[in-house]
Structure 1
Amino acid sequence: MAHPPEAPGAPDQPVPGPAERQRERRGWYMYDWANSVFMTSVITVFLGPYLTTIAEAGAGAGGRISVLGWSMDPTALYPYATSLSVLLQLILLPAVGAIADHTGRKREMLGGLAYLGAFATMGLYFVQGTGYLLGAGLFVLANLAFGASVVVYNAFLPEIATADERDDVSSRGWAMGYLGGALLLTVHLGLYLSHDSLGLEQAHAVRISMASAGVWWALFTLIPLARLRNRMRGGAAPVAFGDAAPGASATATVIASFGQLWRTLKSLRAYPGTLVFLLAYILFNDGVQTVIAFSATFADQALRLDQGVQIGAILMVQFVAFGGALLLGAVARRLGTKRTILGSLVVWVIVVGVAPLLQAGSAVQFFLLAFFIAIVLGGTQALSRSVFSHLIPRGKEAEYFGLYEISDKGSAFLGALTIGVALDATGGDYRLAILTLTVFFVVGFVILFFLNLPAAIRAAGNTPPEHV
């Protein structure tokens, strides 16, 4: 079978010696440790319920709020803010990656984006009363900076690890993220549960927790900034990017980045199996990311569970998800990766379908649901990334994984938007709203089920692994 011609591969990144690689890796791991607390404590636990409460306090006589002249139900503010932040990521992440590659100043960009996000997160301390617009604005800024910083962070991986080392290095960074998030969340749980004995109001404890996540992010970012270093591609001057000549201005590079993205998307037509898998991934990952983002708000609004229960459940998820990923990896080695992903999607459909049936106030039921989410959470994403690596034509790894990263960061847009529209239409019924997410898992399952994965891998010029 003839394969479409492949573009020449990019020049190899200079890889330092073993001792220097080890030193840089230890710094690199610490950025996952640093930024994970934003996702764990702020997005997953505190911000959704808190921002919704602030918005409800600012509602007018009709029980609705106004955002730049747009009237909406207070419960829809957080989903709409999430959609906006993710939409901005979709637009800006290609430009961020292009500038990082073109200028070679990854360390400076990582620092700038990290501190922009960290200081915006610290600013959440000042969101109180009816300041829902300030809270939404700071969240959009922090989430945008978070996503952009992760793009730059990931770009360091080929520079600090050889091809054979990258799986291990990437996994260790992922593990450090779970550990860091769990550690600070434990502190936040203690603060929240003991706020009365500390003389703090509940809302004040929440604001301290969110702000301290920003402080943690800022402080531990110092370590990767001290250990990572910039490298030009091949040790040479900046290369041309798309239609931008070497040494072109930042504006020209940004414009060229969108042209390069368009060329990458067009090249996917030559690899329909890769395109089909990417479509399936965007859909079911949309469901995964939306469940993560709105689990605490669902527990608060639909189940009337206090934040002590929410934090405890999410803390449990941090530890179980790591073991769940290892478990699904073992299952994949026996049953095949595709079957394991499909099985995990069945579990996701069951979890989302059962969620609206949970009894209000039942912490035990919520913990059981969170446990099953944790089992499939890390494994679904880790195995999907593994499958996609086999579907990339040789010589186009960075280009296609850039597209994968955009899909990963941007895929939650539709899920959050769906939740927001459902809440707005039903007057804030979170049980019905969360049920709409089953569509993303079911459609993603169907697309993946009918994909001939071995044929798609061969079409990309690669050899299918034994247990695909």
Structure 2
Amino acid sequence: MITDPPATAEVAPPPQLRRQQLGWYLNDWANAAFSATVLTVFLGPYLTDIAKSAADAHGDVHPFGLAVRAGSFYPYTVSASVLLSVAVMLVAGTVADRTGRHRRLLGCFAYLGAAATLGMFFLRGSHYLFGGGLLMLANICYATSAALANSFLPGLAGPDERDAVSSKGWAFGYAGGGLLLVVNLALFEGHAALGLSSGTAVRLCLASAGAWWALFTLAPMLRLPRRPADGAAARRPGSAVAGSAAEPTAADGSADPVRAEHAGGTLRELLGTLRGMRRYPLTLLFLAAFLCYNDGIQTVVSQASIFGSEELHMSQSTLVTAILVVQVVAIAGALSLGRLARRYGAKRTVLGSLVGWVVTLALGYLMPARQPIWFFALACMIGLVLGGSQALSRSIFSHLIPAGREAEYFSLYKISDRGTSWMGPLVFGLAYQLTGSYRSAIISLLVFFVIGFLMLLRVPIRRAIEAVGNPVPERL
């Protein structure tokens, strides 16, 4: 078990800060394997096939006595996992901010999620409920660990550096996820030569994401700084957060008895945080806009493989290659949009990316089946807007959080981030349930981008930053 390092100097020199930033980037590198390999590529079609093998004559499965179309089981499971993760993330964020154990909690959730992902190797036959349970556990842990990691951003970059640092984190994530996809593509394409069935190859790919996640999580566990509890130090480079903070103690040096009341105190503080958010209506308006348009983004990401396989009749190798194209192009997209934000401001850049998403969905709806070249072109369009819109949204939100509440607020933010949306998959699943067409399901997601665009347009970012008492960057 990795323990916290001993206390160091209050001020972290630039080399130490760069080391901490690299550890933070590598957390995205580690967990992006779950997002790319499991959520985006392999698990959707595989779990759908397992559900279909368990379906009745009408094509329905009956989890807990409910009639559900086999084709809707995967998006419904993603949606259910997010509803459960809401409570888990909020409590974990409150505990982290109260105790300063952000890194330790991050590690616990990351390794539990990695273990659940490794368990997908045993998913076969018609055991769709077993697969759904593993997906829910892994997705909850993924969301919670990522929310805790996001809370380190204000302490790792100043106001004018945050767009660039956040964009680099996303670039690392897409590079890590893409590298593992290359390996998995080679494994899947060569499964016959290796004497493996296609199902066994898919299960090995799923398990590899868990192993990758577990291995590279060691880097953030060793490099991320110790966070102070209860906002005891400012979240800025060069403050105590960039070095370390001791556990809070009472005046006589003994453990503070107030801190010992974790259970009741955490619940009270969580309720207080939720009530206190009403004091920051502009932060809430941005969060509502993000939750809306990012639900659309994440549903496209998590359901793209089903759309490609079931509606466009693409082969598994074509799907994996297309997602690999997304990963590679998204690296350039995240860094390019980060540079555009430096010139035009993060808000304008995100608004432009949402227009790009609307165009992309419209083209996806009109795309002909069995035409891989057009599917790859669509993948390039998604990659260009995917990383930048998410990275810049994260950096904008980091300015809108009152000091000392980063983990709690980023828990709310993470509810809809990177494959953990629930409204989008629910609408997608309902659209398919009612029409039997994945084209209707994909075009139904336009509403999230249009409403999110209009809501973000109304957010005065400078006023929102000033309202929470944070320094305002030069360009917004």
The TM tier, using the shorter chain, reads: 0.7 to 0.9
The aligned residue for residue 324 of structure 1 is 333
Q: Secondary structure at the match of 2:454?
A: helix
Whole-Å separation in 1 of the counterparts to 2:188 and 2:19: 37
**Does 2:63 correspond to 1:54?**
no
In structure 2, list runs of 5 or more residues that go unmatched.
Answer: 1-8, 233-244, 251-255
Q: 1:327, CA displacement in angstroms?
A: 2.6
Give the conservation status (yes or no) of the 8 Å contact 2:185–2:317.
yes
**Does 2:322 correspond to 1:313?**
yes
Give the conservation status (yes or no) of the 8 Å contact 1:356–1:431.
yes
Whole-Å separation in 2 of the counterparts to 1:18 and 1:218: 28
Whole-Å separation in 2 of the counterparts to 1:218 and 1:395: 29
Q: 1:415, CA displacement in angstroms?
A: 0.5
Q: Secondary structure at the match of 2:312?
A: coil
From 429, 432, 435, the counterpart of 1:423: 432
Whole-Å separation in 1 of the counterparts to 2:32 and 2:203: 18
Whole-Å separation in 2 of the counterparts to 1:222 and 1:253: 31
Q: How does 1:449-460 map to 2 (within 5 A)?
A: 449-453=457-461
CA displacement 1:298-344 (0-9 Å, x = unmatched): 10111110111111111111111121223333444555544432222
The aligned residue for residue 353 of structure 1 is 362
**C-alpha spacing 1:385/1:212, structure 2 compared with 1 (3 Å):** closer
Whole-Å separation in 2 of the counterparts to 1:380 and 1:208: 32
**C-alpha spacing 1:52/1:274, structure 2 compared with 1 (3 Å):** same
From 41, 65, 71, the counterpart of 1:75: 71
What amino acid maps onto 2:31 in structure 1? N
The aligned residue for residue 242 of structure 2 is none
Whole-Å separation in 2 of the counterparts to 1:388 and 1:221: 24
The aligned residue for residue 124 of structure 1 is 120
Q: How does 1:364-383 map to 2 (within 5 A)?
A: 364-383=373-392
Q: Secondary structure at the match of 2:184?
A: helix
* Same amino acid, percent of matched pairs: 48
Give the conservation status (yes or no) of the 8 Å contact 2:112–2:141.
yes
Give the conservation status (yes or no) of the 8 Å contact 1:127–1:135.
yes
Q: 1:100, CA displacement in angstroms?
A: 2.2
Whole-Å separation in 1 of the counterparts to 2:267 and 2:15: 39
Give the conservation status (yes or no) of the 8 Å contact 2:326–2:383.
yes
Whole-Å separation in 1 of the counterparts to 2:152 and 2:467: 29
Q: Secondary structure at the match of 2:217?
A: helix
Whole-Å separation in 2 of the counterparts to 1:111 and 1:462: 29
What TM-score, normalized by structure 1, do the two folds share? 0.86
Q: Give the CA RMSD over aligned residues.
A: 3.0
Q: How does 1:245-284 map to 2 (within 5 A)?
A: 246-268=258-280, 271=281, 273-284=282-293
Give the conservation status (yes or no) of the 8 Å contact 1:16–1:159.
no
Whole-Å separation in 2 of the counterparts to 1:117 and 1:210: 12
The aligned residue for residue 6 of structure 1 is none
Q: 1:370, CA displacement in angstroms?
A: 1.2
**Does 2:393 correspond to 1:384?**
yes
Q: 1:111, CA displacement in angstroms?
A: 2.5
Q: 1:421, CA displacement in angstroms?
A: 1.5
Q: Secondary structure at the match of 1:246?
A: helix
**Does 2:205 correspond to 1:209?**
yes
What amino acid maps onto 1:237 in structure 2? E
Q: Secondary structure at the match of 1:129?
A: coil
Whole-Å separation in 1 of the counterparts to 2:464 and 2:159: 23
**Does 2:113 correspond to 1:100?**
no
From 271, 279, 286, the counterpart of 2:295: 286
Number of matched residues?
A: 449
Q: How does 1:24-43 map to 2 (within 5 A)?
A: 24-43=20-39
**Does 2:341 correspond to 1:341?**
no
CA displacement 1:262-309 (0-9 Å, x = unmatched): 2233222xx4x3333322222111111111111111101111101111
Q: 1:16, CA displacement in angstroms?
A: 4.0
Whole-Å separation in 2 of the counterparts to 1:142 and 1:148: 10
Whole-Å separation in 1 of the counterparts to 2:149 and 2:407: 14
Q: 1:61, CA displacement in angstroms?
A: 2.0
The aligned residue for residue 456 of structure 2 is 448
Q: Secondary structure at the match of 1:94?
A: helix
The aligned residue for residue 432 of structure 1 is 440
Whole-Å separation in 2 of the counterparts to 1:111 and 1:416: 28
Give the conservation status (yes or no) of the 8 Å contact 1:94–1:257.
no
From 171, 175, 186, the counterpart of 1:175: 171
**C-alpha spacing 1:143/1:462, structure 2 compared with 1 (3 Å):** closer
Q: Secondary structure at the match of 2:422?
A: helix
From 186, 206, 209, the counterpart of 1:190: 186
Whole-Å separation in 1 of the counterparts to 2:189 and 2:393: 37
Whole-Å separation in 2 of the counterparts to 1:438 and 1:267: 31
CA displacement 1:203-260 (0-9 Å, x = unmatched): 11111100111111122223333444645445343489xxx97323442244234313
**C-alpha spacing 1:119/1:372, structure 2 compared with 1 (3 Å):** same
**Does 2:247 correspond to 1:237?**
yes
What amino acid maps onto 1:275 in structure 2? L
Identify the range of structure 1 (445-454 vs 340-349) with the bigger mean alpha-carbon deviation: 445-454
Give the conservation status (yes or no) of the 8 Å contact 1:78–1:136.
yes
Give the conservation status (yes or no) of the 8 Å contact 1:89–1:409.
no
Whole-Å separation in 2 of the counterparts to 1:438 and 1:193: 34
**C-alpha spacing 1:113/1:442, structure 2 compared with 1 (3 Å):** same
From 302, 312, 323, the counterpart of 2:311: 302
Give the conservation status (yes or no) of the 8 Å contact 1:36–1:180.
yes
Whole-Å separation in 2 of the counterparts to 1:462 and 1:161: 13
Q: How does 1:402-413 map to 2 (within 5 A)?
A: 403-406=412-415, 408=417, 412-413=421-422
Give the conservation status (yes or no) of the 8 Å contact 2:341–2:348.
yes
Q: Secondary structure at the match of 1:113?
A: helix
Whole-Å separation in 2 of the counterparts to 1:62 and 1:109: 45
Whole-Å separation in 2 of the counterparts to 1:330 and 1:82: 33
What amino acid maps onto 1:296 in structure 2? S
